[in-house]
Structure 1
Amino acid sequence: MTPINATPAAPPRLSDRRRFLRKYLQNRSLMVGTVILLIMALCALLAPWLAPYDPAEQYTDYALQGPSPQFPLGTDMFGRDQLSRIIYGTRLSFVVSSVSVGIALVLGTLLGLIAVTARGWVDNVIMRVMDVLFAFPFLLLVIAIMAAFGTSLTNAMIAIGIVYTPSFARVTRAAALNVMEQLYIEASHSLGASRSRLIFRHILPNIQGPLIIQTTLSLAFAILAEAALSFLGLGAQPPAPSWGLMLNEGRDFFNMADWLAIFPGLAITVAVLGFNLLGDGLRDLLDPRSHREN
């Protein structure tokens, strides 16, 4: 028999994985963003099977036809199916944003780690260069970079990556400085741990959260940047199914064929909303000060 005055046993704590999954499912912003991006990712991956027509095929007899059972989102001035072009545009937007943000992530993380570990004049030089890049308006700096290298989708990805590098450098440096102040870093250093060991064993694993959040939010801005460059004729070139290029092509026909601008604009809005919701949800989920377990 259990003694009357015995203290009841504490309920077993959930494992870290189950606790993380429960928080993930309870976060509405995170779930909505995940669903939106999963749907768009499937559209990008399965575009050849989901698109009813070739995005470059011209059906001149059906030019500027409004939404109908045959063309659910209408056709453009060349008779190209808008739905097919928007589906393929998902693939292009995801590729451009992923590559450009990947460039920024690698360069920014590397520069931030060099600044933290080297300190002194190296830190000052790196961060002052990042401040100079921050001082320029985003679009103006991208246009200047592309003017130097030429107009193409590849150069657009490189330019967007360079422009977003300072954001990752700052996030990396701030998070790494916080980690460097921890006692276990001092203990490892006093025991003779090399700089590379400190970076790969202690610093990088502990700054993954801020970098993941910054990456997710930057993907949203990269999609907007690609659309803006394509709209200005500096990104994807015709007949590429770019959302920004579709907006540019449809602006002259807005009064008579408003669907040419409405549907690509909605696609951009939904994609940016999905990444922003995912980023906000991850920020709440990965913040060690939130949702503490009792």
Structure 2
Amino acid sequence: MSHSETIQSTYKVFGLDVYYELYGYQNIDKKDSKVFVCIHGFLSSCFSFRRLIPFIAKDHIVLVIDLPPFGKSGKHLNFTYSYDNFANVVISLVDHLKLDKVNLVGHSMGGQICLYVAKKKPEFVNKVILLCSSGYLGKANPHLILSSYFPFFHLYVKRTITKQGIMNSLNSVVHNQNLIDEEMINGYKEPFLQDEIFRALTKMIRDREGDLSPTDLQNISVPTLLIWGEKDKVVPLEIGKRLHQDLKQSILVTYPEAGHLIPEEIPEHIYDRIANFV
């Protein structure tokens, strides 16, 4: 894709710079062109969609967002790092770019943000695509929330996240280990080279309100496609089956030889499913 067809920019939402990438804008006037908004998972960024974007951007418009405090977005401590507020960020940015009737594509935690958007503004969404979406997680336990107020708690958060190491983390999310190369390692490691993110993640422990309840999910009427890797060790297929039951207008598709990081593992399969769905 030539540089002229890709926009990389930031937009100020609630006083914080939100980084985004826009692909395929040349397709805006095409008759069958649609808008896709991709939302990454926890500890991830736009980078996680790098293999899926080229498939979608051939014929459609793709907006990829770094949710704060991840990737290249701001990490201020006066921002509320709640799922409801992440949904507000997505809505605000899409409004600013004058895109409408968007198809939301969310991986892992990003799937939960898509569901928050669909609950808040159903008229704004055409369809939802959930890739190994998180679900049914409550708020952090009160002891952890209390601990997060200690002055150096962000160093504990940093140690906990970095102790596992990027290689172990990737091994746990990618089923086919042959896909793990230097580009992937560097791409997932890069956001954690500065301390600001750990301070912001400490605040997120307090701000995160938890996933939507079964009742909330049952009230969502936007058609939803669930795509799951059967070897997912992070968000097991059982969660996908539960979401499929609670989301009345949903279809569940599974892949036996895929893990959690399916936008990296099976991008062409995901695109085929999405193209048929929307």
Higher strand share: 2
Higher helix share: 1
Give the TM bin, normalised by the shorter chain.
under 0.3
Larger Rg, first or second structure (1 or 2): 1
- Could you state the TM-score of these two structures normalised by the residue count of structure 2? 0.22
